[in-house]
Structure 1
Amino acid sequence: MVDGDRRKAQILEALQQAEKPISATSFAKEFSVSRQIVVGDVALLRAAGENIIATARGYLLERESEKLISKLAVQHSPEQTEDELRTIVEHGGEVIDVVVEHPLYGELVGGLHLASQQDVSDFIEEADRLQVTLLSELTAGIHLHTIAYETLEDLTEIKAALSEKGILYEEKHHSA
């Protein structure tokens, strides 16, 4: 068994080299410890200033991006979630997170990091498997997404496609 400091260093090294998220379960198997030990190790690394993001598929190290970043306000039913996410990705966007306004806690942010149709499929399958409540269900479907994209044309296409589907909040709000 690897001691805590060495294990944390190896987790960080693995995340620095990873292209895809690495789950706490896979780290736990690798180091022959419980998943909870890994969660604690990652919490300590984050507290020490490491920019580790927890996603539904595992941990990622946040990297500087050359992409443009915007927030989109959207509103839709839980049944439209997959269509919304697929539309953003199809038009060149990466869905970085989801943000909702909570009456007690203020902003709640959930990391998504969905950059491909396969990422969206994995996310939807995991949500179905876990039978969880989506953050957007806390706010009658109104939420924000931080998205990354290459060009302003990508952003224009994403907004137009979401508007056409009745998902882009600003468009519905102003026309009402």
Structure 2
Amino acid sequence: MPRIVLVSLLHRHAARFPVYPVAQLCSLLSAHPGKVWLPPCEGEEIAALTRAAADRPLGQLASLAQGWCELGIQPRDGDKAGLALAQYDEELLDNLAHYWSSAERINRPITDNLFELRREVVDEALGSSLRQGWLKGQQARLKQLLTNGEEPQIAFVEVEACYWLRAQLAEQRGVELIWPEL
């Protein structure tokens, strides 16, 4: 039975929410053996995790670029769906500013629920082609994790995307999904 630890990364949001220090992520990495998966992102978190995983198998998760939608988009004039998404994003970030008072709260079901709801708003506002790209990337990531054999794994995933993998992995027979303890 593969054991998979799934960790939400703040990546682009780390500066706005400084409750999740990179050193804590590296400690978490050290505490869990096996293959390390990182998203195809750049930044301080990814660089530090890459260095910390130097002697371990390291994989890059499939890209979500075809379905990605940044938080805080700027809608065009008259774009009601885009305006609804921008308003949702603003409220989401305000709510997270209150909820993410500590690192322990980032990898919790409430965070996953908020981003799952956001994705529904994104899909409604921006259409099916973005949704298809999102699902294609997520399914490729799921396949990567499930075809790694029995080796333990720790996957660091963008906070906006982690909910989908957690939900899918939780439904897989024979997979031990671990929520990280910070």
Short-chain TM bin? under 0.3
Say which one has the larger Rg.
Answer: 1
| Superposition TM-score, scaled by structure 1 size | 0.27
Q: Determine which structure has the larger strand proportion and give its number.
A: 1
| Superposition TM-score, scaled by structure 2 size | 0.27
